[in-house]
């Protein structure tokens, strides 16, 4: 389980290299993205400072040779190495005070939960490429029919109540299908991902549970914030001739990162973080991190090569004739 604990104390210098990379954590409710980042950063730094530290720096000090002094000759000096008090942890403070930490969660607010991808140390460079790749996310969104609020969630002020007895599973599936079809029209034809800044896109949508007044949707989307999904649940309620609010928004997949890779809050400690980074290190392939702009150039180059091959094959056939 915890290899760091099993192997006993290890130098912080060696462990430092193991905390560089991407990591998936499970974000609980009532924690902002900044709170999660600060908590992980604090856990890493505290864990590093509790490990075996590098030796204290030394200074060269000129002292009298005690042997010569005992013999009556006090003019003999010698150089000795002594510990530098300026480098003592009680004077200089903790060895590790900062490590760069970032998150790819854009548009995820305090009320949302689920998988969140973080980068620690040098992994922040890979995170920038990860964000440019625009990999889709899968979210589980729960809604409740019968009332509407000013914030489109149960915590807001109720300003409308409606009936929902006429709402059926077939009607809900029909509305979800229309949203899916409208969104598909905005996807650039022939590309794996949209290029540049794009509006929220719903790549796939389905209803996984319907038990009025509650229902649950599973959405695969790009660039969709939590508030956008709440607005969408509100619009679905209006289309159903009723009203609805989003009771829960939970990310169950972010690119290749799933719930299986996400560390629970009780495991936000250095040994588990190291294992989480090692587990996720080979999870993201380099081909998946190629930005859409580069993919488009590759497709254009490939199309040019294919066209040249066809022209060459055509000319060879004519020569044979």
Q: Which residues have a catalytic role annotated?
A: 109
Beta bridge partners, 147, equal 161
Backbone φ and ψ for 298, nearest 5 degrees, come out as -65, -40
What is the 3 state secondary structure string of 295-317?
HHHHHHHHHHHHHHHHHHHHHHH
Residue 20's SS3 state is: coil
Q: Which DSSP category does 255 fall into?
A: T
Distance CA 215, CA 143 (A): 5
Peptide bond into 213 cis (omega under 30): yes
- Gyration radius of the chain's alpha carbons: 30
Q: Alpha carbon 254 to chain centroid distance?
A: 7
Helical packing angle, 169-184 and 226-239, nearest 10°:
130
Q: Which DSSP category does 197 fall into?
A: S
Q: Where are the alpha helices (DSSP H) in the chain?
A: 3-6, 12-16, 33-49, 66-70, 89-92, 123-133, 169-184, 226-239, 270-280, 292-320
Distance CA 61, CA 160 (A): 81
């Amino acid at each position: 389980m915890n290899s760091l604990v099993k192997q006993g104390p290890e130098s912080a210098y060696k462990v430092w290299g193991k905390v560089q990379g991407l990591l998936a954590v499970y974000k609980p409710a009532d924690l902002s993205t900044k709170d999660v980042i600060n908590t992980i950063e604090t856990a890493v730094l505290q864990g590093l400072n509790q490990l075996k530290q590098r030796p204290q720096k030394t200074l060269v000090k000129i002292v009298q040779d005690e042997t010569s002094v005992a013999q009556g000759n006090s003019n003999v000096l010698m150089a000795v190495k002594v510990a530098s008090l300026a480098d003592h942890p009680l004077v200089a403070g903790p060895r590790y005070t900062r490590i760069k930490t970032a998150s790819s969660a854009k548009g995820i607010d305090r009320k949302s939960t689920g998988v969140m991808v973080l980068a620690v140390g040098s992994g922040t460079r890979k995170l920038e490429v990860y964000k440019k790749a625009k990999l889709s996310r899968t979210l589980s969104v729960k809604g409740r029919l019968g009332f509407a609020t000013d914030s489109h969630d149960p915590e807001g002020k109720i300003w409308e109540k409606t009936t929902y007895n006429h709402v059926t599973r077939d009607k809900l599936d029909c509305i979800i299908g229309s949203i899916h079809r409208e969104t598909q029209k905005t996807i650039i034809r022939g590309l794996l991902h949209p290029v540049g800044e794009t509006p929220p896109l719903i790549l796939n949508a389905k209803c996984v549970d319907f038990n009025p007044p509650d229902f649950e949707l599973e959405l695969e989307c790009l660039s969709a914030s939590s508030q956008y999904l709440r607005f969408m649940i509100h619009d679905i309620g209006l289309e159903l001739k009723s009203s609805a609010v989003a009771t829960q928004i939970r990310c169950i997949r972010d690119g290749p990162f799933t719930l299986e890779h996400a560390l629970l809050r009780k495991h936000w400690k250095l040994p588990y973080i190291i294992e989480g980074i090692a587990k996720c290190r080979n999870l993201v392939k380099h081909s998946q991190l190629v930005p859409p702009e580069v993919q488009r150039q590759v497709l254009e180059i490939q199309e040019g090569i294919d066209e040249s091959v066809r022209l060459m094959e055509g000319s060879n056939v004519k020569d044979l004739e």
